[in-house]
């Protein structure tokens, strides 16, 4: 249209945040198509960096679980990773030649626990002592209303009398593509916004009972009946799961076309839940950053292969893909 | 009118069926109560307990005296026998044994057999009678959890202290550290008349007699209208009438009377009578002489067996040995023969009267107790004769300066070793009965918990497996409730190897005397008082007790009812069966061991005796299963007696004729089939497949799994309890020791790497621990002692800075994981080719010990290196030091390897649907629902139509409902009417309530494009098992490698890094294709190429002389006509081998 050469497909997506908590975010994304929405989703799951324990040196382990078992569990403990975007991948860290032990690319943890009593001792993520106060195991205590005085972390292992666990762990930056422990997203999903049109005239031909049974045919509560006017209303279009039960029901009642439901092809409702490593809102922003960097990399590396290297971190993203 | 009423009646019935069940008393609680009392392997324990408490005493009482034949005044008499506590005497110190201790230190878990003896001592004039108590004559291997075991009646805490798993069923032995099960042996019942046809189609009646003294098989066969006796001791068939005459039935009329006066029977007998007459045998004397002539010649020609002759003694002791001849009264035996003949003739006249060999009622199961008692009896007798021989030897030789103490000769090694050998090899050799059975014991399968349970309840057949007959393999209607209809292996043992059902009990022997006396008291007319004529008068039934004819009764039904009443009030044993056979006019009473039976609820006129308050008492703990039995609410029925019962499946189905009600229908399945949810919705072979696969599933083995030292141990890192459980799962403890994980499965096609049942797995799920497993392998080393007093030694390993005399230190890197004691340290990471024990052996191990000790140079290294998959790192998990059976130091290493699933690993659901992992896909590429649910694995929908595993679909639905509402759903077999399985309607309602579609399908988006998928996807949790077959253990490739010395061809098999053979058929394909160069390259160049010198003159092979640098023919003695050519080494070998056999193969060479 405008511009010189080819047609421009530039669109101006709009984001509207509906609900936000530390680890939960619901927003609308309008004015773009499925590829962009999906790219955002994929990046959130797999390419937003976080910090997670990657190397465990066990000094003493007389617990019932074996070393690999504990190491695996430690890896899956989410760590606060607000620093992650600015941290280096240990594989391209110059300061330590990539062995991942320097302050620029790693965080050291210590865990010392020994059960001295007859009561079973739960070793939790709270027992992990970090060398960096910005990178600590995620604290869930305020997320759950403070019903108990002492909120426990994530259980790593249980010790009985005389058992001991002593270890040193190195946390590094990574992305979810390499291992799920680096994925900051617990849930990232989107849906097409449904557009529901009720054929009012046809609905009026139904009796109240019929309306009731039709409304109830939807497994989710999408429709309701106004108790006063006996009108069928769309209460919550987003509860609709595209199950077509209502359409089938309408057909079964001999009233095809009672309702028409479309999916709006250009608007999406995102639900993002974070593991706690970064805030859900930050997760989205980081994802957009990463996405942008990726696009930059594609744009800039058109000419030369060497261009890859100059992007450092980004090059790694692309090589990983 | 009548019709109408019937219809309306049917309507009522229909409505009743559709109505929710509330009226019937829920009898399910009886099942766990039964299992609490009887346990899953109670049959084994009961059988062993019976042996330990009763049978062993009987055996010793029957052979209680050892009398010296030289001096009959010297004797030993066993007064009492018992089995002590499991202990071990080591150098005079008696130490208590526990099963776990035995497993770890390769000992036999055995207890001493103690006897109290009374014996005489002295000579000629003066003998003194002495007594000794608690003399150990043998060490008896003890069945775990039996009454002699230390685990008997221990609670969970005590078991844990002994290192034992409370869920372990017991019922096996620990022999030299390995757990051995004596398989239940299935046999045709003994001492019963079985009418059958032989190969030629002749009808015969056979009896396998078995008494304490002898075993024999008697066959009466109908050949060409005449009846004959077949007995091993006679060379030919003997006309049956002659046998009758030999037993004193000289009058043909009496025989006819005994068989019955029906003219049809007489007609059938006529030819036999005529034959006898034509041989002009009329008297007993003549008959016996005739028999004497037909006897098989004995190998040793000692014909003097006393005045009566051998024929007579065979007739008395071998022929129908189960019918005792008391004071030469052959009449019971004659009647027995008459009954046999009558049954045969019935079968001739009416084919329905034929017996079915495969009928479960005609089978007996031999359990460990019986088998051990057989062995013990034989060994005990051997020991007695050995002691006697020894005593006689001593007495006859020595001038008896010292007095012989007979009790000192009671050696314990014969019995101990005999028992131990039989149990560890599984070979049962009892010479007296000419019994040589192999494979009676097996190493207990410890791959999975369910596999262990399934192994203990397995029944092995007596037939050889090769026979291509379908009869014994087919499912028998009579095995309902007794043997599991699903659990049988595929392939050659299909249908022959069976498994017990959940509630089956196998009886043990019961005292016969009082029961016989009781029968007479209840109006049985004694056989002795009956004439032949009276035997078969109408309306009178023969009473047959354990195959023995007691007499007849005029009111059989009343008699049977009285017997049953006595049984229900507990006056006679609960396992005595009373069976009125209307067809044969007989009442069978059985109290013998090995019958299978099961408990049923008694109903009076269709009304269950169990009422609400009974069940309440049970739930409150005020009653036990035994109370139910004692009060006559529940009773055991064996397969035969079931024929007299009308058993209703549910209380509401009962009619006034109903006599019994099933406790729970799902108990017809065994342990393995009990894991399957909704098995009644599956195609039946699928359940059979799952029964086989459940035994290969990884999970938890036992609570003490990490304390055990199994050779191979597969564990799951995060085993789960199935979301969709069954009652059997809860009863067996599978919910505590699961072997699988609940995976969210999407049934859809994805990526093309899911064809042929392959599954696509989610990488993130694997990262988070799905399907992660631990493989532990045992490696052992022995610090051997040698005959010259030398022994192996274990050395401190060389460290990095150490240098030997030459200043070298080549091996320190391989020995980094060793501790200073030379043994690998637990917790160390071990890589292929690492040394795990730095052992050295003396070079000279024979002859006299070297003086002044051994120097370092007298030892050669015999290090043991770890061989594992290249690139994988394992960890030394545990190291144990113990002494082995030869008192050498034995060092065992458990080496652990944690694996995450990879492409090619095998998985299976619980519905016989196995598949390998086809590809692993990133989570972001996986489809997702708008709730954010992303499956763990994707299964191709083509797996469903041909397999028809509807149960799996219901499992998915039920699992999905279960996770959404937070309640474990049930899927017990046939459980819908009784509420032990959730109905699909109810599940669908739950799903809808939680916002899912009623049909379990979800609306998914593609993870790759973000677009909605074209179809709704059936998605939900299904319990998946990881099977022990993993690619890491199987994958194999070879470039070049080791060769066999003889043929110089590559070795065979993965373990030897062998080659992959281009076999005969592959070669044929290549020939047909014409790929000659490929054949040349595969069959020769890549296999065993060899350069030979061939003499063109004589055609023989020569050799290459390296000095002269020419080939020389050794037969022509020159090198003039030598050609060099390539040949497979195997061909050269063949030529030379032929030459060594005086065949001269010559090669004719031509220019090409």
For residue B552, what is the domain's CATH number?
Answer: 3.90.1070.20
Predicted local confidence at residue B24, as pLDDT:
60
Does the residue B34 lie in any domain?
no
Q: Is residue B1043 part of a domain?
A: no
Interchain CB distance below 8 Å, A38 and B1010? yes
Q: Collapsing DSSP states into helix, strand and coil, what is residue B393?
A: helix
Q: Are residues B170 and B206 in the same domain?
A: no
User: What is the model's pLDDT at position A147?
Assistant: 53
Residue B284 has pLDDT above 70, yes or no: yes
Nearest C-alpha in A relative to B921:
A177
The verdict on B827 and B958 lying in the same domain is no
Name the token pair of B230. Answer: 């077949």
Partner residue facing B1011 (CB), from A34, A64, A219: A34
- Give the SS3 label for residue B761: strand
Q: Would you call A180 and B827 a contact, using CB atoms and an 8 Å cutoff?
A: no
A42 and B1007: CB-CB below 8 Å? Answer: yes
- Do B657 and B520 sit in the same domain of this protein? yes
What pLDDT, on a 0 to 100 scale, did the predictor assign at position A2? 43
Q: Which of residues 226-245 of A touch B (CB under 8 A)?
A: 239, 241-243, 245
B964 touches chain A (CB under 8 A): no
What are φ and ψ of residue A254, in 5° steps? 80, 20
Q: Is A58 on the interface with B (CB under 8 A)?
A: yes
Strands (E) in B618-722, as ranges, are 634-638, 647-648, 660-661, 712-716
- In this prediction, residue B1094 has a pLDDT band, given cuts at 50, 70 and 90, of very high
What was the pLDDT predicted at B399?
A: 59
Three-class SS state of B587: strand
Is residue B557 within 8 Å of residue B602, measured between CB atoms? no
Q: What is the pLDDT, as a whole number, of residue B301?
A: 53
Report if residue B1045 sits inside a domain: no
Residues of chain B with C-beta less than 8 angstroms from the C-beta of A176? 764, 923-924
DSSP states of B936-974: SEEE-GGGTTTT-BHHHHHHHHHHHHHHHHT--EEB-TT
Within a domain: B18: no
Q: What is the CATH number of the domain that holds B891?
A: 2.40.50.150
Best residue of B995, B1010, B1011, B1014 to probe chain A, by most A CBs closer than 10 Å: B1010
Nearest residue of B to residue A222, measured between CA atoms: B995
On whether residue B815 sits in a domain, the answer given is yes
- The domain boundary residue, chosen from B315, B336, B364: B364
The reply to whether B358 belongs to the active site is no
Q: In terms of residue numbers, what domain contains B245?
A: 193-364
Count of beta carbons in the 10 Å neighbourhood of residue B1148: 7
Report the residue from B767, B929, B1010 with minimal CB separation from A34: B1010
Domain co-membership, B511 together with B625: yes
**Shortest Cα distance from B735 to chain A (angstroms)?**
20
Give the strand pairing for B458-460 and B184-188.
parallel
A-contacting residues in B 847-906 (Cβ below 8 Å): 875, 877, 896, 898
A271 confidence band (pLDDT: 50, 70, 90) = very high
How many angstroms separate the CA of residue B870 from the nearest CA in chain A? Answer: 19
Burial bucket for residue A240 (CB in 10 Å: 0-12, 13-18, 19+): buried
Burial code (b: 16+ CB inside 10 Å, e: under 16) for A161-192 equals eebbbebebbbbbbbbbbbbbbbbbbbbbbbb
> Distance between CA B629 and CA B623 in Å, rounded?
11
Which residue has 């599933």 as its token pair? B697
Taking the CB of residue B430, how many other CB atoms lie within 10 A of it? 17
CB distance B676 to B688 below 8 Å: no
Q: Report the pLDDT value the prediction gives residue B564, as an integer from 0 to 100.
A: 92
Q: Which residue has the higher pLDDT, B132 or B532?
A: B132
Q: Kindly report, residue by residue over B210-269, the tens digit of the pLDDT.
A: 887 778 888 898 888 888 888 888 888 888 888 888 888 888 888 888 888 788 888 888
Structure confidence at residue A142 as a pLDDT band (50, 70, 90): low
Interface contact B963, partner A, CB < 8 A: no
How far apart CA A137 and CA A103 sit, in angstroms, is 18
Residues of chain B found within 8 Å of residue A180, distances taken between Cβ atoms: 763-765, 767-768, 923
Question: Does the distance separating the beta carbons of A72 and B1010 come in below 8 Å?
Answer: no
Which residue among A180, A190, A239 places its CB closest to the CB of B923?
A180
Q: Where are the alpha helices (DSSP H) in B994-1144?
A: 1031-1034, 1064-1073, 1076-1080, 1129-1140
- CB contact, 8 Å: A66 with chain B? yes
Label residue B288 exposed, middle or buried (CB < 10 Å: 0-12, 13-18, 19+): buried
- Statement: residue B1064 has pLDDT above 90: yes
- In chain B, residues 488-547 whose CB comes closer than 8 Å to chain A: none
Residue A3 has a pLDDT of: 43
Beta bridge partners of B682: B949
Please answer yes or no on whether B923 and A245 come within 8 Å at the CB atom: no
Q: What is the pLDDT of residues A3-54, one digit of tens each?
A: 445 566 778 899 999 999 888 999 999 999 899 999 999 999 999 999 999 9
pLDDT tens profile A72-86:
999 999 999 988 888
Chain A residues lying within 8 Å of B922, measured CB to CB: 46, 177
Q: Which residues in chain B have Cβ-Cβ distances shorter than 8 Å to A45?
A: 923-924
What's the average model confidence in pLDDT over B772-784? 93
User: What is the model's pLDDT at position B64?
Assistant: 83
CA distance B51 to B30: 28
- Cα-to-chain-centroid distance, residue B193: 28
* pLDDT average, residue stretch B831-836: 90
Taking every pair of Cα atoms in chain A, the longest distance, rounded to a whole number of angstroms, is 80
Split at pLDDT 50, 70, 90, the class of B499 is very high
pLDDT above 50: residue B897: yes
User: Could you count the other beta carbons within 10 Å of the beta carbon of residue B280?
Assistant: 8
B928/A189 touch (CB, cutoff 8 Å), yes or no: yes
B827 and A190 in contact by Cβ < 8 A?
no
- What pLDDT was estimated at residue B22? 45
pLDDT in tens, B14-70: 544 454 444 566 777 778 777 777 678 888 998 999 999 988 998 888 888 888 877
**What CA–CA distance (Å, rounded) separates B733 from B740?**
14
Which chain A residues touch B992 with a CB distance below 8 Å?
Answer: 219
- B24 and B651 Cβ atoms separated by less than 8 Å: yes
Among partner residues A67, A176, A245, which is closest to B997 by beta-carbon distance? Answer: A245
pLDDT value at residue B1:
44
Residue B661 forms part of a structural domain = yes
CB atoms inside a 10 Å sphere around CB B1054 = 13
A27 touches chain B (CB under 8 A): no
Question: Do B777 and B759 share a structural domain?
Answer: no
Calculate the average pLDDT of chain B.
87
Q: Is the pLDDT of residue B650 over 70?
A: yes
- The number of beta carbons lying within 10 Å of the beta carbon of residue B226 is 20
Q: What share of chain B is helix, strand, coil (3-state, %, to 5)?
A: 30, 25, 40
Same domain, B206 and B313: yes
Q: Per-residue pLDDT tens for B317-343? A: 888 888 888 888 888 888 888 888 888
B953 burial level (CB within 10 Å; 0-12, 13-18, 19+): buried
Q: Is B1077 exposed, middle or buried (0-12, 13-18, 19+ CB in 10 A)?
A: exposed
Last residue of a domain, one of B397, B413, B430: B430
B932 and chain A in contact, CB less than 8 A: yes
Please compute the mean of the pLDDT values over residues A94-117 and round it to a whole number. 82
Cα Dmax for chain B? 120
What ipTM was predicted for this assembly? 0.89
Distance (Å) of CA B546 to CA A101, B327, B515, B761, B1126: 82, 22, 11, 60, 78
Residues of A with Cβ-Cβ distance to B764 under 8 angstroms: 176, 180, 183
Residues A205 and B948 sit within 8 Å (Cβ to Cβ): no
Cα B304 to Cα B298, B299, B313, B314: the distances in Å are 12, 14, 12, 14
CATH of domain A50-181: 2.170.120.12
CA distance B428 to B437: 5
CA dist A310 and A160 (Å) reads 53
Let me know whether B828 and B974 are in one domain: no
Q: Is residue B155 domain-shared with residue B248, that is, in the same domain?
A: no
Q: Which residue has the higher pLDDT, B693 or B651?
A: B693
Q: Which of B116, B757, B819, B925 is catalytic?
A: B757
Looking at residue A87, its pLDDT comes to: 85
Q: In this complex, how many residue pairs, one in chain A and one in chain B, have their CB atoms less than 8 Å apart?
A: 95
Same domain membership, residue B949 and residue B872:
no
Which residues of chain B are within 8 Å of residue A188 when distances are taken between CB atoms?
Answer: 932
Which residues in chain A are closer than 8 Å to B924, comparing Cβ atoms? 41-42, 45-46, 176-177
A216: contact with B, CB 8 A cutoff: no
Cβ-Cβ contacts under 8 Å, A42 against chain B: 924, 1007
Does A61 reach chain B within 8 Å, measured CB to CB?
yes
| Contacting residues of A for B1013, CB less than 8 Å apart | none
Nearest chain A Cα to B769, which residue?
A72
Q: What is residue A138's DSSP assignment?
A: P
pLDDT for B619: 83
Q: Which of B767, B817, B997, B1014 to mutate to test the interface with A (most CBs of A within 10 A)?
A: B767
Q: What is the average pLDDT score of chain A?
A: 84
**What gap in Å lies between CA B508 and CA B242, rounded to an integer?**
39
Side-chain half-sphere exposure of B168, counting CA atoms within 13 A: 32
Per-residue pLDDT, averaged over B774-789, amounts to: 90
In angstroms, the Cα distances linking B197 to B221, B336, B362, B437 are 9, 20, 16, 26
Q: What is the pLDDT of residue B1022?
A: 96
Whether residue B1060 has pLDDT greater than 80? yes
What Cα–Cα distance (Å) separates residue B435 from each residue in B137, B371, B374? Answer: 24, 11, 10
- Of B899, B931, B946, the position where a domain reaches its end is B899
Per-residue pLDDT band at B1116 (split at 50, 70, 90): confident
Identify whether residues B1018 and B955 lie together within a single domain.
Answer: yes
| Residue of B590, B610, B588, B589 lying closest to B599 (CA atoms) | B610
Asked if B873 and B813 touch (Cβ cutoff 8 Å), the reply is no
pLDDT of residue A97: 67
Residue B503 CB contacts under 8 Å (≥ 6 apart), including other chains: B31, B34, B481, B598, B599, B663, B667
The answer to whether the CB atoms of B923 and A176 lie below 8 A apart is yes
Where residue B960 sits, what CATH number does that domain have? 2.40.270.10
Instruction: Name the percent of chain B lying above pLDDT 70.
Output: 95
Give buried/exposed letters for A103-133 (b at 16+ CB in 10 A, else e). Answer: eebbbbbebebebeeeeebbbbbbbbebebe
Smallest CA–CA distance from A75 into chain B, residue: B768
Determine the average pLDDT of the residues in A189-206. Answer: 87
Domain count along chain B: 6
Q: CB-CB: which of B764, B875, B1003 is closest to A241?
A: B1003
Q: What is the pLDDT of residue A149?
A: 47
pLDDT at B1018: 95
Is pLDDT of A161 > 60? yes
Calpha distance B651→B22 (Å, rounded): 11
pLDDT at A241: 83
* Cα distance between residue B941 and residue B913, in whole Å: 12
Rg over alpha carbons for chain A, rounded to the nearest Å, is 26
Token digits of residue B799: 């460290």
Q: Do B1074 and B955 have their domain in common? A: no
B995 chain-A contacts, CB cut-off 8 A: 219-220, 239, 241
DSSP H helices in B295-404: 310-317, 331-349, 368-397
CB-nearest to A220 from B768, B995, B1010 is: B995
What's the 3-state SS for B1070-1085? HHHHCCHHHHHHHHHH
Contact B1003 A242 (CB under 8 A): yes
Q: Hey, what are B454's tokens?
A: 């399934």
What six digits make up the tokens of B818? 């060793």
The residue extents of the domains of chain A are: 50-181
Asked if residue B121 and residue B50 are part of one domain, the reply reads yes
With respect to residue B1147, please indicate whether it lies within any of the assigned structural domains: no
pLDDT-derived band of residue A204, with 50, 70 and 90 as boundaries?
Answer: confident
- DSSP-derived 3-state class of residue B267: helix
How near does any CA of chain B get to the CA of A180, in Å?
Answer: 5
- Work out the pLDDT band at B1006, boundaries 50, 70, 90: very high
Nearest to A177 among B772, B922, B995 (CB): B922
- A62 at B interface, C-beta within 8 A: no
pLDDT confidence of residue B2: 45
Tokens encoding B476: 């028998």
Nearest CA in chain A to B897: A68
Å from A4 to nearest chain B CA? Answer: 31
Query: Rounded to an integer, what is the distance from CA B136 to the centroid of its chain?
Result: 32
Burial of B930 (0-12, 13-18, 19+ CB in 10 A): buried
Least confident among B252-256, B757-761, B921-925: B252-256
């Amino acid at each position: 249209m405008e511009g010189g050469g080819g047609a421009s497909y530039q669109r101006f997506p709009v984001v509207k945040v509906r609900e936000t908590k530390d680890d939960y975010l619901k927003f609308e994304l309008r004015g773009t198509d499925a590829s962009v929405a999906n790219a955002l989703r994929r990046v959130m799951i797999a390419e937003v960096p976080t910090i997670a324990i990657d190397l465990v040196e066990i000094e003493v382990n007389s617990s019932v679980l074996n070393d690999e078992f504990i190491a695996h569990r430690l890896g899956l403990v989410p760590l606060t990773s607000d620093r992650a975007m600015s941290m280096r991948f240990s594989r391209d860290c110059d300061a330590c030649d990539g062995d991942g032990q320097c302050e620029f690319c790693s965080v050291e943890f210590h865990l010392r626990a020994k059960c001295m009593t007859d009561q079973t001792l739960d070793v939790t993520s709270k027992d992990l002592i970090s060398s960096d106060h910005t990178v600590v195991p995620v604290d869930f205590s305020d997320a759950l209303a403070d019903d108990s005085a002492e909120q426990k972390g994530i259980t790593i292992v249980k010790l009985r009398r005389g058992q001991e666990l002593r270890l040193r762990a190195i946390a590094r930056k990574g992305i979810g593509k390499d291992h799920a422990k680096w994925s900051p997203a617990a849930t990232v999903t989107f849906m097409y916004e449904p557009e529901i049109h009720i054929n009012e005239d046809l609905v009026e031909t139904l009796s109240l009972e019929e309306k009731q049974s039709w409304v109830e045919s939807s497994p989710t509560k999408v429709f309701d009946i106004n108790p006063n006017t006996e009108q069928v209303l769309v209460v919550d279009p987003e509860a609709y799961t595209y199950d077509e039960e209502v359409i089938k029901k309408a057909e079964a009642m001999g009233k095809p076309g009672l309702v028409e439901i479309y999916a709006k092809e250009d608007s999406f409702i995102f639900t993002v839940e974070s593991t706690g490593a970064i805030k859900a809102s930050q997760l989205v922003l980081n994802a957009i950053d990463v996405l942008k960097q990726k696009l930059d990399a594609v744009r800039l590396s058109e000419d030369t292969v060497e261009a890859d290297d100059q992007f450092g971190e980004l090059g790694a993203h692309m090589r990983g893909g | 009118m009548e019709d109408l009423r019937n219809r309306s009646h049917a309507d009522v019935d229909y409505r009743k069926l559709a109505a929710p069940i509330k009226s019937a008393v829920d009898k399910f609680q009886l099942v766990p109560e039964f299992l609490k009392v009887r346990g899953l392997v109670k049959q084994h324990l009961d059988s062993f307990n019976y042996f330990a408490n009763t049978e062993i005493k009987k055996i010793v009482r029957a052979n209680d005296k050892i009398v010296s034949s030289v001096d009959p005044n010297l004797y030993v008499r066993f007064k009492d026998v018992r089995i002590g506590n499991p202990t071990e005497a080591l150098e005079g110190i008696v130490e208590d044994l526990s099963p776990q201790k035995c497993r770890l230190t390769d000992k036999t878990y055995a207890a001493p057999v103690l006897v109290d003896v009374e014996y005489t001592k002295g000579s000629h004039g003066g003998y003194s009678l002495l007594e000794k108590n608690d003399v150990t004559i043998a060490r008896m291997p003890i069945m775990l959890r039996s009454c002699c075991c230390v685990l008997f009646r221990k609670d969970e805490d005590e078991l844990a202290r002994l290192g034992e798993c409370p869920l372990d069923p017991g019922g096996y032995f620990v022999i030299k550290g390995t757990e051995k099960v004596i398989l239940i042996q299935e046999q045709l019942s003994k001492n019963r008349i079985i009418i059958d046809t032989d190969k030629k189609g002749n009808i015969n009646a056979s009896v396998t007699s078995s008494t304490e003294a002898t075993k024999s098989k008697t066959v009466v066969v109908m050949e060409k209208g005449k009846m004959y006796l077949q007995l091993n001791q006679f060379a030919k068939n003997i006309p049956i009438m002659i046998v009758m005459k030999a037993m004193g039935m000289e009058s043909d009329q009496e025989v006819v009377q005994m068989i019955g006066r029906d003219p049809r029977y007489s007609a059938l007998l006529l030819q036999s009578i005529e034959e006898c007459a034509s041989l002009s045998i009329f008297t007993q004397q003549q008959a016996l002489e005739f028999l004497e002539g037909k006897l098989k010649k004995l190998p040793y020609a000692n014909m003097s067996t006393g005045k009566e002759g051998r024929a007579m003694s065979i007739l008395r002791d071998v022929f129908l040995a189960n019918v005792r001849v008391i004071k030469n009264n052959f009449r019971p035996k004659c009647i027995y023969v008459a009954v046999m003949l009558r049954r045969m003739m019935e079968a001739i006249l009416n084919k329905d009267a034929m017996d079915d060999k495969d009928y479960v009622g005609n089978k007996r199961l031999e359990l460990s107790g019986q088998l051990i008692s057989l062995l013990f009896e034989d060994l005990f007798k051997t020991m007695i004769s050995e002691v006697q021989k020894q005593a006689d030897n001593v007495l006859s030789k020595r001038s008896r300066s010292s007095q012989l103490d007979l009790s000192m000769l009671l050696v314990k090694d014969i019995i101990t070793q005999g028992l131990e050998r039989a149990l560890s090899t599984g070979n049962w050799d009892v010479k007296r009965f000419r019994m040589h059975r192999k494979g009676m014991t097996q190493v207990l399968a410890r791959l999975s918990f369910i596999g262990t349970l399934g192994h203990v309840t397995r029944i092995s057949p007596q037939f050889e497996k090769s026979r291509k007959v379908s009869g014994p393999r087919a499912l028998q209607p009579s095995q309902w409730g007794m043997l599991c209809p699903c659990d049988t292996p595929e392939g050659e043992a299909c249908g022959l190897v069976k498994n017990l059902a959940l509630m089956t009990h196998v009886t043990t022997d019961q005292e016969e005397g009082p029961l016989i006396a009781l029968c007479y008291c209840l109006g049985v007319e004694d056989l002795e008082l009956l004439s032949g004529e009276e035997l078969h008068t109408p309306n009178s039934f023969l009473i047959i007790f354990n195959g023995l004819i007691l007499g007849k009764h005029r009111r059989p039904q009343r008699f049977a009812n009285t017997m049953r009443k006595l049984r229900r009030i507990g006056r006679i044993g609960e396992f005595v069966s009373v069976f009125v056979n209307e067809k044969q006019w007989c009442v069978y009473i059985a109290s013998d061991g090995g019958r299978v039976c099961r408990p049923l609820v008694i109903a009076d006129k269709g009304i269950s005796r169990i009422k609400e308050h009974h069940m309440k008492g049970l739930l409150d703990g005020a009653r036990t299963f035994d109370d139910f039995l004692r009060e006559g609410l529940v009773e055991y029925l064996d397969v035969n007696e079931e024929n007299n019962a009308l058993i209703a499946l549910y209380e509401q189905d009962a009619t006034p004729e109903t006599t019994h009600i099933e406790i729970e229908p799902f108990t017809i399945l065994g342990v393995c089939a009990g894991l399957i949810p909704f098995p009644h919705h599956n195609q039946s072979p699928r359940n059979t497949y799952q029964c086989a696969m459940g035994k290969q599933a990884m999970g938890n083995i036992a609570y003490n799994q990490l304390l055990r030292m199994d050779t191979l141990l597969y564990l799951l890192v995060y085993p789960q309890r199935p979301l969709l459980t069954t009652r059997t799962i809860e009863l067996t403890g599978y919910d505590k020791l699961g072997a699988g994980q609940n995976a969210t499965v999407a049934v859809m096609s994805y990526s093309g790497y899911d064809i042929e049942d392959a599954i696509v797995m989610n990488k993130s799920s694997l990262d988070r621990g799905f399907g992660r497993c631990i493989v532990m392998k045992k490696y052992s080393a022995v610090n051997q002692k040698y005959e010259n007093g030398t022994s192996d030694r274990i050395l401190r390993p060389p460290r990095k800075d150490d240098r030997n005399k030459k200043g070298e230190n080549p091996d320190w890197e391989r020995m980094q994981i060793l501790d200073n004691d030379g043994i690998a340290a637990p917790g160390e990471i071990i890589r292929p080719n690492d040394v795990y024990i730095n052992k050295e052996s003396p070079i000279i191990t024979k002859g006299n010990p070297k003086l002044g000790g051994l120097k370092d140079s007298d030892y050669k290294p015999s290090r043991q290196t770890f061989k594992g998959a290249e690139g994988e790192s394992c960890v030394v998990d545990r190291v144990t030091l113990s002494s082995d059976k030869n008192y050498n130091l034995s060092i065992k290493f458990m080496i652990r390897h944690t694996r995450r699933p990879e492409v090619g690993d095998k998985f299976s659901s619980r519905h016989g649907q196995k598949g390998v992992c086809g590809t692993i896909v990133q989570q972001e590429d996986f489809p997702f629902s708008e709730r954010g649910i992303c499956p763990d694995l994707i299964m191709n929908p083509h797996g469903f139509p041909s397999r028809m595993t509807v149960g799996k679909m219901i499992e998915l639905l039920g699992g999905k409902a279960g996770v959404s509402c937070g309640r474990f759903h049930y899927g017990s077999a046939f459980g819908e009417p009784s509420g032990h399985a959730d109905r699909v309607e109810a599940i669908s309602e739950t799903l809808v309530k939680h916002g899912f579609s009623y049909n379990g399908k979800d609306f998914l988006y593609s993870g790759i494009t973000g677009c909605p998928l074209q179809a709704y996807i059936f998605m939900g949790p299904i319990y998946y098992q990881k099977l022990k077959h993993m690619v890491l253990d199987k994958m194999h490739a070879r470039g070049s490698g080791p060769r066999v010395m003889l043929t110089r061809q590559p070795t065979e098999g993965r373990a030897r890094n062998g080659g992959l053979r281009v076999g005969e058929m592959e070669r044929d394909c290549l020939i047909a294709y014409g790929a000659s160069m490929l054949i040349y390259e595969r069959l020769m160049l890549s296999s065993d190429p060899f350069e030979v010198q061939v003499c063109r003159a004589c055609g023989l092979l020569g050799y290459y002389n390296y000095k002269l640098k020419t080939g020389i023919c050794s037969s022509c003695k020159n090198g003039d006509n030598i050609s060099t050519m390539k040949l497979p080494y195997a061909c050269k070998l063949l030529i030379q081998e032929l030459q060594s056999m005086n065949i001269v193969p010559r090669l004719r060479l031509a220019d090409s």
